[in-house]
Amino acid sequence: MSHPHPQGDTVPLHPSSAQSDMDEIESLIHAAPTAAAVLPARPSSPPRASIPISNSPPVAAPTSSKPQPVPPFSSAVSSSSAPPRSASVTIPIAADGFGAPPNTLTEPVWDTVQRDLSRIVSNLKLVVFPNPFREDPGKALRDWDLWGPFFFIVFLGLTLSWSASVKKSEVFAVAFAVLAAGAIILTLNVLLLGGHIIFFQSLSLLGYCLFPLDVGALICLMKDNVVLKIVVVAVTIAWSSWAAYPLMSTAVNPRRKALALYPVFLMYVSVGFLIIAIN
Number of domains making up the chain: 1
Residues 71-103: pLDDT tens digits? 544 444 444 444 445 444 444 444 444 344 556
Residue 110 included in any domain? no
**End-to-end CA gap in the chain:** 184
Domain assignment present for residue 166? The answer is: yes
Instruction: Give residue 168's Cα distance to chain centre.
Output: 49
Q: Is residue 114 part of a domain?
A: no
Is 216 a domain residue? yes
Q: How far is CA 226 from the centre of its chain?
A: 56
Rounded to whole angstroms, the Cα distance separating 242 from 251 reads 16
Q: What is the mean pLDDT of the chain?
A: 74
Q: Supply the pLDDT for residue 27.
A: 73
123-152, pLDDT tens digit by residue?
A: 888 888 887 677 676 676 777 888 989 999
Report yes or no on 197 lying in a domain: yes
Contacts made by residues 64-70, CB under 8 angstroms, sequence distance 24+: none
Residue 211: domain span: 120-278
pLDDT tens digits, the chain, 279 residues: what are they? 444 544 445 445 555 555 666 777 777 776 555 444 455 555 555 655 555 555 555 555 555 555 555 554 444 444 444 444 544 444 444 444 434 455 667 778 888 888 888 888 888 888 888 876 776 766 767 778 889 899 999 999 999 988 887 788 888 899 899 999 999 999 999 999 888 888 998 999 899 999 999 999 999 988 888 899 999 999 999 999 988 888 777 788 878 888 888 889 999 999 999 898 887
Virtual CA dihedral for 207, 208, 209, 215, nearest 10 degrees?
100
Q: Domain for residue 256, yes or no?
A: yes
209 in a domain, yes or no?
A: yes
User: Does residue 262 lie within any of the structural domains?
Assistant: yes
Question: pTM to 2 decimals?
Answer: 0.58
DSSP-derived 3-state class of residue 126 = helix
